Chain A
Amino acid sequence: EAQVTQNPRYLITVTGKKLTVTCSQNMNHEYMSWYRQDPGLGLRQIYYSMNVEVTDKGDVPEGYKVSRKEKRNFPLILESPSPNQTSLYFCASSPRGGRGNEQFFGPGTRLTVL
């Protein structure tokens, strides 16, 4: 089944403890992206990747890192999480960046930072 998977789905952690949220897609998509969703603010893009080894900042990149060593994986790294990073995170992919391509979303990861 073609899909975008994220792990973990739920995570409660404490301030400053490094964590990684994994994202994987099995559709051979070139483009991948991370969003966070907050009440009243909607979904906002954190980082995106046009292809392997190519990443760039979205609208709200502060406090996050990403890497794209393989086409299928795009992990989101929080080196020193803070309570304002408590949010619902979504990974998305599409065949390639640019016009016309539908984006497919993972199931989401609910993160709570205490």
Chain B
Amino acid sequence: KQEVTQIPAALSVPEGENLVLNCSFTDSAIYNLQWFRQDPGKGLTSLLLIQSSQREQTSGRLNASLDKSSGRSTLYIAASQPGDSATYLCAAHTGTASKLTFGTGTRLQVTL
């Protein structure tokens, strides 16, 4: 059974810092790994999707990496801004049910 863990559960950084969010998964037989952003009271916004055959994906200030052999993914946020404050979720896509197994998220606060 796939299990996804995100560390840390919460993180506070000053504006302008570069930061890394961590995601680990137990079953390396994934189709892909997807990173989401969730704002309070809002839905999930897909940030990046890394296919199992890829090592990384980039979108603007965001860069996600994937190491299937070690069961790890990281989300790198460059030059953080207060608008980046949100909860970040990673989800491993496995199985014929196309199920996404989610971590419990990292709550990020970027302070002025």
User: Among the listed A35, A40, A48, A104, which residue makes an inter-chain contact with B98, where contact means beta carbons less than 8 Å apart?
Assistant: A48
4 new A-B contacts, CB < 8 A, other than A58-B99, A99-B93, A100-B31, are A33-B99, A40-B104, A100-B32, A103-B98
* SS of B interface (majority): strand
A interface residues, tally (CB under 8 Å):
29
Report 20 cross-chain contacts, Cβ distance below 8 Å, ordered by A residue.
A31-B98, A41-B104, A42-B4, A42-B102, A42-B105, A43-B89, A43-B91, A48-B98, A50-B98, A56-B97, A59-B99, A90-B44, A98-B96, A99-B31, A100-B51, A102-B32, A102-B49, A104-B46, A105-B36, A105-B46
Bound together, the chains give a CA A104 to CA B45 distance in angstroms of: 8
A68-114 with Cβ < 8 A to chain B: 90, 92, 94, 97-108
A2-57 with Cβ < 8 A to chain B: 31, 33, 35, 40-45, 48, 50, 56
